[in-house]
Amino acid sequence: MLTFERQCGKKEFGVTIGTCRTGKMKESRLLFATTNQGKLHEAQLTARRFGVELYGLNGVQREGIREPPMVSEGEPSYQANAVRKARAYAAWAGVPTLADDSGLEVEQLGGLPGVFTARFGVDRVKQLLQYQRSCDATFMCSIAYVEPGGRTVAVTKSLAGVVDVSRVADGPRGPLPYSHLFIPSGQAQSLAELVTSAGYSSHRGEALAALFQSLLP
């Protein structure tokens, strides 16, 4: 498990927000609460830089353990959704757990789809932006770490860029469909292309790195 020498960061609703370098992480293998292999692989790229191994829900192997619960993402913020999932799966698996919630906020859509990104769908974004080729947007991600019955730490990061709706029809959908139509600021390639070919750190990678920096000495 993780042990901490002192409290640090800002607390909101029982969740510690921010970073602290006095924590000591003894666990080098953590559950990342997802069955999305694309998301897991992306997170593993960042975790390896910190000497941490991540495994997904499909990798939970405990004798007699029941099927993982279905945890809804009905909270009003990314952070609240991430914490909700991390707490549920930590209680289920009995091990320290990471969970995330991310979303795409398109300026021309007033911040939508936001926390509704997973349910909104790429095709609906394309339909709403059909008369615009490129729109300013921000990718958001919150990642929460929870010890069973213990402390909760959450970090939120953002990545600015544009949405190129012309890529919706041409690009592959895959497990992370929005990453194919999002181009980070100052880049010519999509986020999906950058992460796979250039080792670029996504919004999820940045949030996870910040979280590990707060937990590691």
Question: How far apart are alpha carbons 214 and 117 in whole angstroms?
Answer: 28
Say how far residue 178 (Cα) sits from the centre of its chain: 13
Q: Is 101 a catalytic residue?
A: yes
What burial letters (b/e) apply to 170-196, b meaning 16+ CB within 10 Å?
ebeeeebbbbbbbbbeeeeebbbbbbb
Q: Out of 101, 123, 164, 170, pick the active-site residue.
A: 101
CA distances from 56 to 121, 137, 143, 162, 183 (A): 24, 29, 15, 30, 27
Task: Dig out the tokens for 104 from the structure.
Answer: 């795409």
User: Which sequence positions are flagged as catalytic?
Assistant: 101
